[in-house]
Chain A
Amino acid sequence: MPTDPRPGGTGGPVPALAVRGVSKRYGATAALDHVDLEIAEGEIVGLLGHNGAGKTTLMSLVAGLIRPDAGEIDVHGHSTVRAPRRARRELGLAPQELGVYPPLTVRQNLRFFAELAGLRGRSARARIEEAAEPLALTALLDRRVSRLSGGEQRRVHTAMALLHRPRLVLLDEPTAGVDVQTRARLIAYVRELAAGGTAVCYSTHYLPEIEALGAEVAVLDDGRMIARGSVGELVRRHGDSGVELVFSGSPPALSLPWPVTREDEVLHVRVERPHLAMAEVLAALGESAGQLVTMRVVQPSLDSVFLHLTGRRRPTGAHPGDAVREATAAGCSDGSGSGSGSGSGSGSGTTPAGDGTEPPAEDRIEAGHHG
């Protein structure tokens, strides 16, 4: 039964997941630092953060694999520390690292986890079919897992977490290494699960998925939860929009009513409605218009929000454009459900984007250097 997206306090319905003030250290590393996160029934939360931000640590804590140093975690009201088995019954975890039994067939792998969850005979068979179908595993059920491709193995790995229809699903980078079709199917299936009341925590480095999922966003940065909200809210609050001009030499000094930053041959003008500002920017160019190579509009996007948020730790950056770390994300989709990046994201340049782990995106992102 889907409920109010974020009950927020004590009065509301019990959230599927409630993380309150959780900290976890590994030796000198603070993997998580006073993290709060609530996920309601039927809600999908996209967990974002750069490598080492603490996403896997958070999921492992929720699944009871490790214990928090401080704070409380409740899964449907069951504490992962005081009632770990009740909490575990409610959740399904597909960890980041592939965890399957390679010598056995897909069916044997799935059946084993169905049996561990207390399913037997016909009901186990039905659930295996049910979990296999959306992940396109039906035809592979009798193949040995060691003989499947990497992406096929990952689909088995994900299906193993969903067999028992958990009410809270934790998917740690479920689309790493899977093809576009599977990605789209998985996203559609996750949406379907959520529509049925399942709460989903979904980590990814591929931001268009968040929009395709219609997910809320939670951003971890160096172990701290630095943002939580809907994509729209975050884009409104933190999205960078502006005009970007590339010159053949060093950019001229312009007098404009908006903040301007320079980076090698590129000039960024930060402005809320870039389309309307274009004319004024062009007019301000004057003589130096001859050196202008390209000019483009940068629309606010989840990418720029992410870079803005996670880049802001650098105190030197007066403007987010200066402070972005490296290119960690690709373009942004229009949220129409396909999951392949295109559409309303950032501007329309052609600079190669991504860090090598993402599929190529058509859109240019702010692959800035540090100020």
Chain B
Amino acid sequence: MGDGAPGRITALVRQDFRLLARDPAPLVVRTVMPLLIMGFMLPLFRAALRADDVPDANGAEQAVPGMAVMFLFFLVNIVGFAMFREHGWNTWDRLRASPARSVELLAARLVVPLLTAVVQLAVIFGAGALLFGLRVSGSYAALAVVGVPLALCVVMVGMALVALCRTISQLSVIANILALVFAGLGGALTPQSALPDWAGPLAPGVPSYWAMRGFSAVILDGGGVSAVLLPAGVLCAFAAGLGAVTLAFFRADQRKLSWS
């Protein structure tokens, strides 16, 4: 790629930052919402955790990672919008007529959403500690080892949906359903132990399950990096699988509808 690809990717990333800076509201709202809901859910989670043999739990141990994981998957919409709006503005074809390769156009589009997701996780965990008394008994590095692959998974779900959907409404319906299903099955909405029997065997099939497992291992069980390598690895595998789906189905010349 010694033909200026890094420069073009930098230009694309900077462009995404500029566009984000022009309209940061959706992102701010998506970060505040989980904090609001945490406030309501805290007592419920406290009761559940105490019944689950965590006698000194205050509820934040489940509420903070749970809501963070659930709302992170709503970011899939933002990844999708970022790609679809290029079609709405008719700029996609201009990008395709530029010296950039299609794969550069895709790769560059991962950067800003990925950073956004990581920052959102950090803000929610930070606010959880400040506002709701979240105590992390394990290592913070281990949280990052789970959080970054989780963020990557979210972005790659977005990219896979961009590849598979022709209209933005298809994408947003599927993204919202996935966010809820992932949250439910993965133990983000309720503690894993409180899931109905039928859900148990399905749970490992969703990335949020592994994220919650990793976060709980650090927050509740005092785990370090080595304790979260398995969940982090599985999250990376999910991301890789979704990347493969994206590459297999993405058609640069497909005309996407940014409305309807």
Contacts and interface: CB of A to CB of B under 8 A. Distances in A.
Contacts of B93: 60, 63, 65, 95, 99
A103 B23 contact: yes
A99 B89 contact: yes
Contacts of B96: 63-65
Nearest to A98: B90
Contacts of A100: 89, 91
A89 interface: yes
Range of interface residues on chain B?
20 to 34
Given A115-B7, A115-B11, A65 B100 contact: no
Interface string B80-124: 000000000111011111111100000000000000000000000
Interface of A: 60, 63-66, 85, 88-89, 91, 93, 95, 97-104, 108, 112-113, 115-118, 120, 160
Contacts, number: 70
Given A64-B96, A65-B97, A116 B22 contact: no
Contacts of B99: 85, 88-89, 116-118
B196 to A, nearest CB: 46
Contact of A116 (B19, B89, B100): B100
A112 B15 contact: yes
A102 to B, nearest CB: 7
Given A115-B7, A116-B11, A104 B22 contact: yes
Contacts of B89: 99-102
A117 B98 contact: yes
Contacts of A116: 8, 11-12, 95, 98-100
Contact of A95 (B11, B90, B253): B90
A63 B97 contact: yes
B92 to A, nearest CB: 8
Contacts of A101: 15, 19, 89, 91
Interface in B1-54: 4, 7-8, 10-12, 14-15, 18-19, 22-23
14 contacts: A88-B97, A88-B99, A91-B97, A95-B90, A97-B90, A98-B90, A100-B89, A101-B15, A113-B94, A115-B8, A115-B10, A115-B11, A116-B8, A118-B8
A95 B94 contact: yes
